[in-house]
């Protein structure tokens, strides 16, 4: 483990003016707080925060960021509090540590709305100080480097999360080296055989052709010397995951894949960049369509470079990147360039672009009432983008992600233009709206008065901005239908507690829930953004408690030890009256499963964790949510009739989610609050007898059992 002296010595190489006393104090404090804690590997836990600080020191980060790295787990995992950290290290560091703690508690692998909502809030919060994100990225990098000590299922979960969120986030921040390493570490977990096959082919290729990188590097240096250009030339084979992705995208085998080698030429001035380009193209043949000038058209994260692909030695295609030293610094460190030091002084890099502007722009154009899953989707799309540059008829440049369509182009100009789009011309030729745009094309959007977005556009659009605007427009069209449905849901929810859903009651509930008026409340209720239970609770909390609160969890089942706490399995949703068993966790909790739960198969070889349980007699008045999988006819009033039938059985609908919409039927998941197995059977029987219900089943998801494993 890196010692405090080692860390201080590393920081002094780029920042002689560091606050050594404060950094050393943070090291000592972190070691004291984590004393007696160990990682899965058996190493002292504090070795992890130290490694995170070391990664950030290699990126030449400031004192506050390094101290945050050393303390980033103290508030969450030790007896230290925000107040303690603030008193000892100041408010700036306390807020940074608190920000990292919130990001750490975020479960990004879940598809549930709660996690997406948290992601939205915290993503907006981190825009206030991007150093929180940098510490979290370094934290994830070290965890991926040491992932082998975790359980295989945890490895896969973390690797998928890293590939989907953290790797593209690092790329978006301009830290391409970190993105590539995170992707490759994830690839090693998710597809070890695929990665090993790439490495084996590289070894074979090197044995047959020798060190190709060294030979081509030497050739380039000779050409640059002839042109009297001083430059640093570096070459390398691309990362296994990068090659694998190209193979999948182009549907080609390794032997047919080109440009698996990359070369970088760093010069003093922008003029030298173009002189190098001329020398390279004069010596080797350029590959058509593989030239990009990111100096004249920089990426939004500040990246500048010239990219070209040429047929090099023995006809092998190689990619060449040409840039100045300032451009190279931004390309290597991305957002960290904002905290770069030289001789103890912060250095301004004129090419560095603060990604806070990207985050602010993203969050500003997403409405507060937008669906949280849509926000998560939009964020992922923004982070994954590989841009193309297209032109308006007036010559303005529009930046779009790869695969974008004329619909995305139209919405990028203005939401009004996108909504009225009926067609498009690309380079003067009429094309379908699903056409994929390419670099350098000129796009003319054709609009018509009275046109509105179509449902099919959601599948055609690529950008989060377009998808959000289309969904918003469709929601407005559906508003009248949602209001009618919401009124029916409100009636059932209020009758369930012996009250009427009067206009005054609805206005009062809307005010209590900070919703502008009763009609908006009904629209949100009909679109499942608000539940009937939440509306009733807003004005009749005492009745909601009387009719719906669960009994004390420690008394819900019989057979638990005195210190055991039971949790109802989300995978099978057992209810009183059903045979149940318990699975103990490594803590003090017990997960209660129905005896026929599929998830129990995973514990067959662990009999010591099984507990024989039965329901306490007093639980039959408690609320137990059960999810029904319903397929119903798509007809006027059908959904309202279903809600009425459920309400007539004194059952409350707490949530409703559409999972498939077709012209002739809907498939949806309905969460219903029930007392016991008899109540469940009665509701299910009534729904089965309804002619507009073509299928009904209890929704059970074994994958949700993962949340309860310990």
Helix, strand, coil share (%) of the chain residues, nearest 5: 50, 15, 30
**H/E run at residue 128:** none
From the list 481, 529, 489, the residue with the least C-alpha distance to 506 is 489
Place of tokens 């030293």: 325
Give the total residue count for the chain.
710
How far is C-alpha 677 from the geometric centre of its chain's CA atoms? 38
Integer Rg of the chain from CA: 30
From the list 538, 578, 585, the residue with the least C-alpha distance to 556 is 578
**Helix boundaries (H) for 210-239:** 212-226
- Tell me the angle at which helices 503-512 and 518-526 cross, rounded to the nearest 10 degrees: 80
Place of tokens 């024989």: 612
Strand partners, 615: 557
From the list 177, 172, 97, 180, the residue with the least C-alpha distance to 359 is 172
Residues in contact with 123: Cβ distance below 8 Å, sequence separation at least 6, in sequence order: 359, 363, 379
**Helix boundaries (H) for 454-608:** 457-460, 464-477, 479-495, 503-512, 518-526, 532-539, 541-548, 553-556
d(CA 659, CA 662): 10
C-beta separation of 588 from 564 below 8 A: yes
From the list 201, 193, 210, 318, the residue with the least C-alpha distance to 264 is 318
Name the token pair of 128: 């206030």
Of 20, 43, 77, 293, catalytic: 77
d(CA 84, CA 63): 19
**Three-point CA angle 385, 388, 394, nearest 5°:** 135
Please state whether beta strands 589-594 and 443-447 pair in parallel, antiparallel, or not at all (unpaired): unpaired
DSSP assignment of 540-571, as one string?
Answer: -HHHHHHHHPPPPHHHHEES--TT-EEEE-TT
Active site residue 77: yes
Of 43, 76, 223, 332, catalytic: 76
Give whole-number Cα distances, 300 to 112, 195, 399, 505, 557, in Å: 31, 31, 9, 50, 57
498, HSE (Cβ side, Cα atoms, 13 Å) = 6
C-beta separation of 63 from 23 below 8 A: yes
C-beta separation of 75 from 101 below 8 A: yes
Strand partners, 430: 425
Active site residues: 76-77
């Amino acid at each position: 483990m890196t010692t405090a002296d080692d860390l201080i010595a590393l920081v002094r190489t780029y920042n002689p003016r560091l606050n050594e006393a404060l950094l050393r104090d943070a090291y000592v404090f972190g070691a004291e707080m984590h004393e007696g804690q160990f990682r899965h590997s058996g190493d002292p836990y504090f070795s992890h925060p130290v490694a995170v600080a070391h990664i950030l020191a290699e990126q030449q980060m400031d004192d506050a960021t390094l101290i945050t790295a050393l303390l980033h787990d103290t508030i969450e995992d030790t007896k230290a509090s925000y107040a303690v950290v603030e008193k000892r290290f100041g408010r700036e560091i306390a807020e940074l540590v608190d920000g990292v703690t919130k990001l750490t508690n975020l479960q990004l692998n879940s598809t549930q709305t709660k996690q997406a909502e948290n992601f939205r809030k915290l993503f907006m919060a981190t825009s206030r100080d991007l150093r929180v994100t940098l510490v979290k990225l370094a934290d994830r990098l070290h965890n991926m480097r040491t992932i082998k000590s975790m359980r295989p299922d945890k490895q896969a979960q973390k690797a998928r999360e890293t590939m989907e969120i953290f790797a593209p986030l690092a790329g978006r921040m301009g830290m391409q080296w970190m993105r590539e390493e995170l992707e490759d570490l994830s690839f090693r977990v998710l597809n070890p055989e695929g990665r090993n096959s790439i490495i084996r082919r590289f070894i074979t290729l090197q044995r047959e052709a020798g060190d190709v990188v060294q030979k081509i590097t030497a050739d380039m240096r000779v050409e640059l010397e002839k042109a009297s250009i001083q430059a640093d030339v570096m070459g390398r084979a691309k990362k296994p995951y990068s090659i694998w992705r190209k193979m999948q995208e182009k549907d080609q085998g390794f032997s047919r894949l080109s440009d698996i080698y990359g070369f970088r030429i760093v010069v003093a001035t922008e003029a030298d960049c173009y002189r190098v380009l001329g020398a390279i193209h004069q010596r080797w043949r350029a590959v058509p369509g593989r030239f990009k000038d990111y100096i004249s058209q920089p990426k939004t994260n500040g990246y500048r470079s010239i990219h070209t692909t040429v047929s090099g030695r023995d006809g092998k295609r190689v990619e060449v990147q040409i840039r100045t030293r300032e451009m190279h610094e931004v390309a290597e460190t991305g957002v960290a360039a904002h905290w770069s030091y030289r001789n103890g002084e912060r250095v301004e890099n004129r090419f560095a672009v603060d990604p806070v502007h990207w985050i602010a722009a993203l969050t500003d154009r997403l409405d507060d009432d937008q669906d949280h899953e849509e926000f998560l989707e939009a964020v992922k799309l923004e982070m994954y983008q590989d841009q193309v540059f297209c032109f308006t008829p007036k010559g303005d440049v529009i930046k779009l992600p790869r695969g974008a369509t004329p619909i995305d182009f139209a919405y990028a100009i203005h939401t009004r233009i996108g909504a009225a789009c009926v067609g498009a011309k690309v380079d003067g030729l009429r094309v379908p709206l699903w056409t994929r745009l390419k670099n350098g094309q000129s796009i003319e959007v054709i609009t018509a008065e009275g046109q509105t977005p179509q449902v099919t556009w959601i599948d055609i659009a690529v950008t989060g901005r377009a998808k959000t605007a289309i969904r918003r427009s469709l929601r407005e069209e559906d508003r009248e239908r949602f209001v009618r449905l919401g009124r029916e849901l409100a009636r059932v929810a209020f009758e369930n507690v012996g009250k009427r859903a009067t206009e005054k009651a609805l206005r009062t509930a809307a005010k209590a829930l900070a919703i502008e008026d009763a009609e908006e409340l009904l629209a949100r209720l009909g679109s499942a953004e608000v539940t009937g239970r939440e509306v009733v609770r807003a004005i009749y909390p005492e009745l909601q408690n009387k009719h719906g609160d669960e009994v004390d969890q420690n008394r819900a089942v019989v057979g638990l030890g005195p210190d055991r706490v039971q949790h109802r399995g989300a995978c099978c949703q057992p209810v009183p009256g059903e045979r149940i068993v318990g699975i103990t966790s490594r803590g003090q909790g017990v997960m209660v499963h129905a005896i026929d739960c599929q998830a129990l198969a995973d514990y067959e070889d662990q009999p010591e964790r099984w507990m024989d349980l039965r329901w306490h007699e007093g639980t039959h008045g408690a609320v137990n949510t059960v999810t029904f999988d319903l397929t119903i006819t798509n007809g006027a009033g059908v959904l309202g009739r279903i809600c009425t039938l459920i309400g007539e059985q004194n059952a409350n609908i707490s949530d409703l989610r559409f999972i498939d919409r077709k012209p002739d039927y809907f498939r949806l998941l309905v969460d219903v609050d029930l007392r016991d197995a008899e109540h469940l059977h009665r509701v299910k029987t009534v729904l089965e007898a309804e002619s507009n219900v073509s299928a009904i089943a209890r929704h059970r998801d074994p994958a949700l059992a993962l949340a309860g494993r310990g």
